[in-house]
Amino acid sequence: MDSIFFITTMALAIAIIIPFYRVAVGPTVYDRILGSGVIGTKTIVLISLVGYLFNRFDMFVDIVLAYALLNFIGVIAIAKYLERKEAQK
C-alpha cells in the first residue's frame, strides 16, 4: 500500500516540474500566473502525501488547508491587480 503512495508522490513531483516551462516561457503574464497557480495547487496534494509518508498527517493536513486558501487568494489578488492596471492605461 505504501508503494502506491510513493508512486503517487513521484507522479506529483514530476507534475510539479513540468509547469515551470510555462512559467519561464509563457508569452503573456497571465500564462506565468496560470503556471504558478498550477504549481501552487499541486503542492497542496504533495504536502499532504509527504505528510502521510512522514506519519505526521495531523500536522500536515492543517498546513495543507491553510495553503489551499492562500494559493486561491493569491491568484485572485493578482488577477484583480492586473485588471485594475489595465484600467489605468
Backbone torsions φ then ψ of 2, nearest 5 degrees? -65, -30
* Binding-site member from 54, 56, 68, 88 for another protein (CB under 8 A): 68
- Site for another protein, residues 7 to 36, rule: CB under 8 A: 7-8, 11-12, 14-16, 18-19, 21-22, 27-28, 30-31, 33-35
Shortest distance (Å) from residue 51 CB to another protein: 10
Q: Please compute, for residue 53, the number of CA atoms within 13 A of its CA located in the half-sphere on the CB side.
A: 14
Rounded to an integer, what distance in angstroms lies between the CA atom of residue 34 and that of residue 23?
Answer: 8
Please report whether residue 82 would count as binding another protein according to CB under 8 A. yes
